[in-house]
Amino acid sequence: MHQSLLIDEILSLIIRFVAADGQGDPKRLENTSSLAKLARTCRCFMECALDTLWRTQHSLSPLIMCLPRSIWEIHSSNVLYLTRPPTESEWARFDVYSRRVKSFSYPKQTKMIRLHEDALPLLFSERSPQSLFPSLSSLDFSILSCNSSSLIRDFLSPKLTNLAFTLPRKICPQDICGILEDLPRKATRLENLAISSFFPVTSFELNIPTHGLPDLRRLVVSSSIRISAQSMLNIASLRYVQELALNLHHDFDADVLRDRANHSTFPALRRVNLVAYDLPQCTSIVSLICSPQLEDVTVTYNVQARSSVITSFLSAIGTSVRSISLRHNMQTHAIADPPFVFYPSTFAPLFACRNLRTIQVYNLGTLNLDDDFIISAAKAWSKLEDIRLCSLPWSSIIPNISLNALTALTRYCPKLTRVHLSLDAREIPELPVDGLNTTGAQFLGVLNVRDSAIGHTESVAQFLRAIIPNMRTLYVEAHPELRDKWMEVKAYYDRLSMPVVPALRNGSDSRP
C-alpha cells in the first residue's frame, strides 16, 4: 500500500471524490455503489468509506434493513414494517452503521422503500434515539416521520446543532408544547431551527429565555408558532443570529420593543422575513437591527398602511440592504384611492441603499410615481438587477412614468435583468442625442408592463428594440384589447430582431 494512503487528509479526499463522482453536492452522494465497493477493498479504505457512506441519510429504511430479516417485512407499495422491537442481541449490525450517522436531511428519497409510521415507536421502544445515533448533529424529523412528533423530544441533546420538523395534521398540543419547552433546555447548542406546518393548526408559543440558545444562527418558524415580544428581545441579544423568518400575530406587543435598540441587538443579522398583522410590528423589529451586514428584508402584512407608516419602515431598515420586498396581502376591500396613494417621497429613504439589487413593492395601494423618481432610483441603484413596482390591480391612475424611465434604467443599471411596472407608452420619446450604451442593457430580458397605456404599437416596438436589444419575454396584465396591442408590440419587436437574409439573384445558389 502506498504510504500516502496513511495520511487521513489524502484518504478523505479520495473518498469524497469517489462518493460524489468528482462533481455535485458532497452532501448528497451520487456514487454510493462505487463507495461501497471501495469500503470492501481493504481496511485502509473501509472505515473512512463507511463513515462517508452513512454520514448523511435521507431515510431510515436502509438502517432498518440492517436488522435481522425476521424483524421487518416489506408490504405492497414499497412500505417497510417492523414486526416487533429488536432484542438486545439483534442490534449489533445496526449499531455498526448507525453510530456513523450525523445527519438526517433532505432531499427525501422518494424512490426508496418507505418506513411505515408505526415502525418508529417500535424501534425506539427499547433504546433511545440518542443511544442509537450518538453522532447525530443534524435532524430533519420529517424525513423520519410526519406524525410521531412526540419522539422529537428524545432526539434533543447538546450535540444537536440543526433541527427541522413539521407540525403534523393530527396534533397533540401537549406534545408540541413539550417540544418547544425542551428546545432551549436540552438542545443548548442549536444553531439552526426551522418549524413548518402544511395545515392550519392551533398556534403555540415558543419562548426563548434570556441567554437561551446562545449559538442560534437561523430561526425559521411557521404561522402556527407565536413568539412574544420579550422572547424577541432575547433573540435580538444573541450574537450569531443571521437569518430570521417569523409570523407576528395580531397580539404581538410591538410597544415592548420601542427604544430597546442598542449596539448589541441583532449584531449579525443578514436576512429577515416577516409576515405580520400590520407594518408597525415589522418596523419595531427592524428598528432593533444594528447589523451592518443586513442584506435581505422581506415583509408581508395584512392591514393596509399609509404613506407615513411605510416611510417610517423604510427609514428603519438601514442602508446596507441589497434586496427588499414589501407586500400588502391583497384583499377585496383594499383601497386604491387616498389615503393609500403613494408619491415618490414615500420611498425616498431607499435612495440611500446604494447596494440595492432587488426591489419588489406589491399592492400597497396606488403608486403614483414619475420619471424623476425612476431616473433618481436608476442613478442611486447602479447594481440593480430586478425592479417590480406594482399598484393594486384596480388602481385607476395612469402613472406619470414614460418610456424615458426605461431609458434611464438601461443606461444606469447595467446588470438589470427584469423590469415590472406600469408605464404611459402613448408618447414615444426621442432617443438620446449621444446614443445609448446598449451594452448596459444586455441582461434585461423580461419586461412586465402590467396595464400600461399604449398608442402606436410599431413605434413602441422600435423604441424598445433600441433600448432593450435582448428582450425575451413581454408580460401584460390587462384587459384583452390592451393585451392584444402589447402582443402586437412583441410580434413587431421579434421581427425587428430577426437577422436579415440577403435576397438571391437569378435563382443563384447562396452557398459560398
CATH code: domain of residue 459: 3.80.10
Task: Give pLDDT, residue 439.
Answer: 57
Q: How far apart are CA 175 and CA 197, in angstroms?
A: 15
- Name the band, by pLDDT with cuts 50, 70 and 90, for residue 147: confident
Higher-scoring residue by pLDDT: 291, 145:
291
Which of 26, 41, 57 marks a domain boundary? 57
In this model, does residue 504 exceed pLDDT 60? no
Which of 35, 57, 79 marks a domain boundary? 57
Going by C-alpha positions, the residue among 408, 372, 413, 373 that lies closest to residue 389 is 373
Question: Does residue 114 belong to any structural domain of this protein?
Answer: no
Question: Does residue 336 belong to any structural domain of this protein?
Answer: yes
Question: Does residue 8 belong to any structural domain of this protein?
Answer: yes
The single residue listed with the C-alpha cell 415589522 is 282
Question: Does residue 446 belong to any structural domain of this protein?
Answer: yes
CA distances from 460 to 37, 423, 489, 500 (A): 64, 12, 7, 21
Which of 38, 57, 76 marks a domain boundary? 57
- Name the band, by pLDDT with cuts 50, 70 and 90, for residue 25: low
Q: How far apart are CA 137 and CA 160, in angstroms?
A: 4
Average pLDDT over residues 401-421: 96
Lowest mean pLDDT among 76-85, 170-179, 449-458: 170-179
Task: Give pLDDT, residue 223.
Answer: 86
Strand boundaries in 363-466, DSSP class E: 366-367, 386-390, 418-421, 424-425, 446-448, 453-454
pTM for this model (two decimals): 0.86
Domain containing residue 33: 1-57
- Long-range Cβ contacts of 196-202 (<8 Å, 24+ apart): 196/164, 196/165, 196/166, 196/167, 196/220, 196/221, 196/222, 197/166, 197/167, 197/222, 197/223, 197/224, 198/166, 198/169, 199/167, 199/169, 200/224, 201/167, 201/169, 201/171, 202/171, 202/173
Question: Does residue 199 belong to any structural domain of this protein?
Answer: no
Question: Does residue 189 belong to any structural domain of this protein?
Answer: no
Average pLDDT over residues 422-440: 75
Q: Which residues touch 489 (CB under 8 Å, ≥6 apart)?
A: 454, 457, 460, 461, 464, 474
Average pLDDT over residues 118-128: 91
SS (H, E, C) 36-83: HHHHCCCHHHHHHHHHHHHHEECCCHHHHCCCCCCCEEEEHHHEEEEC
CA distances from 402 to 130, 424, 428, 454, 469 (A): 65, 5, 8, 10, 19
Going by C-alpha positions, the residue among 445, 425, 428, 429 that lies closest to residue 485 is 425
Number of separate helices (H) and strands (E) present in the chain:
16, 24
Grid cell of 24 as nine digits: 455535485
- 248 - beta bridge partners? 276
Pairing of strands 358-362, 323-328: parallel
Average pLDDT over residues 297-315: 98
Q: Are 229 and 259 in contact (CB under 8 A)?
A: no
Question: Does residue 274 belong to any structural domain of this protein?
Answer: no
Question: Does residue 406 belong to any structural domain of this protein?
Answer: yes
Count of structural domains within the chain: 2
Q: Are 106 and 58 in contact (CB under 8 A)?
A: yes
Task: Give pLDDT, residue 7.
Answer: 66
